[in-house]
Amino acid sequence: MKRLASVLTIILILILSCSVFAQNNTLPYLHSIAFSNSGIYTAVGDAGLIITSQDGVVWNKAVSASAENINGIVWAMGKFIAAGDKGTIMTSANGRDWTKTDISGKEIDLNSVASSGNEIVAAGDSGTVLVSKDGILWDQIRMATKEKIYRVRWINDRYFAVGEPMLILTSKDGITWDEVKAEPSSAVLFTDIAWNGEKYVAVGEQSNIWISEDGRKWTQNESVLSKEEMDNTQNIYSITWTGSKFVAVGDRGKVLSSADGSDWKREDSATNKDLKDIVYSDGKYVVTGEKGVILTSGDGVKWNNHYSISAQSNNITLKQGQKKSLEIMLNYPYGESEDVTAETSFEVLDGFDVLTVEKNGEMNAIGVGKALVKATYDTKSIEISVSVEKDADLQSPADDPNQGRDNGQSESGMSLSNILLLAGSGIIVAALILGAILLIKKKKV
């Protein structure tokens, strides 16, 4: 029985492995970005993703020292310090080569990191605050709050930590903290804070914007909620002061700007994806967010989205009666790609009597001639030319049960590679089950 249990365990592991392998890879969020005094942008995200750039446009993937989600990053004391889930803290002098710090016993999810130049502060869930003088050795601070801290910033002459419920904490040294605002009855999370030299502006969920002149007494900017274009169901995740205006980013590509923190307007964005962090330096904005989106702008008004989409070919030839699925890939500026066919919309622009396209991207050549198909993902679109030729051997559906199938595609749109993968998995499982049966029979004999 022990031998049978071992064999069945192996079978189960293989089945799970095959199912995981068959799933599409999903590229992660980019949660945070920082800019070094040597001119290097470094962004961090899910599953240990770290990318670097000198201009915010061309990016390179770095070798991470962790596979955990990395939620915050700062440039301080001549190096990048990044913090993430399960107490992950890493450091790097150049953004490319990373060293993980051992902080055993402090393995709570960390969401943000900041520095005054004298010490480094990391903060996260359950009111967790860690302090370090060098980014290597860390001490955990005993906090009065057990609420989630979403972001910590060094602003003016103190640290500000914001979180839920409408939580704002301040500290001069990262060790002793004062709670200046909290609303226990509220479910709203504050996500970021900025200062223009005269007033502080805190932002958060449901388009909450609060203003303070001293960082202690806060007043909600209710006029923002009354503006139809603001959409107060959407969250704001990050805000920065450029020297002339505030710029904030959030859900579904939301970009807001204000000269004084009171009067806000919505700017056109180059994406509908959630935007998680914004940094401004040397006259350039760089924003990161959902699905690895990266935006840049020189003025905070006109934005460039630096990923692209592509099909397996921009010119496709079919036979009349043939079916074939379009495959749309999302191409990131750091060399990764992801299949986003399921999230892409398709439209036949020309040749309606030649071709139809289903919602899943499956083309059906119903006539002979040329057609033009438009594929749209997020705010990116491409056009694909399709030529349909007459099939001399075309049979009626009653005579040919395989009519309309592409050589590498089943009627259901399943690719040949997926069919082979499933078939191979089935053969492996069948062989292992047969082996288990033979072992049992051998033992009985």
- Domain extent, residue 229, equals 30-303
129 and 171, same domain (yes or no): yes
51 and 136, same domain (yes or no): yes
337 and 425, same domain (yes or no): no
Tokens of 320: 């009349």
pLDDT in tens, 128-173: 999 999 999 999 998 878 999 999 999 999 999 999 999 999 999 9
349 and 330, same domain (yes or no): yes
38 and 9, same domain (yes or no): no
How would you classify the pairing of strands 284-289 and 275-281? Answer: antiparallel
Phi and psi torsions of 239, nearest 5°: -145, 145
Among 338, 326, 333, CA closest to 304 = 333
349 and 388, same domain (yes or no): yes
445 residues of the chain, pLDDT tens digit each: 445 444 444 444 333 333 333 333 466 799 999 999 999 999 999 999 999 999 999 999 999 999 999 999 999 999 999 999 999 999 999 999 999 998 877 789 999 999 999 999 999 999 999 999 999 999 999 887 899 999 999 999 999 999 999 999 999 999 999 999 999 999 999 999 999 999 999 999 999 999 999 999 999 999 888 887 778 889 999 999 999 999 999 999 999 999 999 999 999 889 999 999 999 999 999 999 999 999 999 999 999 999 999 999 999 999 999 999 999 999 999 999 999 999 999 999 999 999 999 999 999 999 999 999 999 999 999 999 999 999 876 554 444 444 444 444 433 444 444 444 455 555 555 555 555 555 445 444 4
Question: Which DSSP helix (H) or strand (E) runs through 181?
Answer: strand 177-181
Torsion of CA 27, 28, 34, 36, to 10 degrees: -40
Task: Look at the chain and report how many structural domains it folds into.
Answer: 3
CB 111 within 8 A of CB 72: yes
90 and 108, same domain (yes or no): yes
Q: Among 252, 273, 303, where does a domain finish?
A: 303
Alpha-carbon gap, residue 356 to 182, rounded angstroms: 56
CA distances from 227 to 210, 231, 232, 265, 334 (A): 16, 8, 9, 9, 37
Q: Among 248, 278, 303, where does a domain finish?
A: 303
178 and 143, same domain (yes or no): yes
Among 360, 389, 357, 354, CA closest to 373 = 357
372 and 229, same domain (yes or no): no
212 and 341, same domain (yes or no): no
Q: Is the pTM of this model over 0.85?
A: no
240 and 334, same domain (yes or no): no
Phi and psi torsions of 163, nearest 5°: -175, -140
CATH number assigned to the domain comprising residue 146 = 2.130.10.10
410 and 423, same domain (yes or no): no
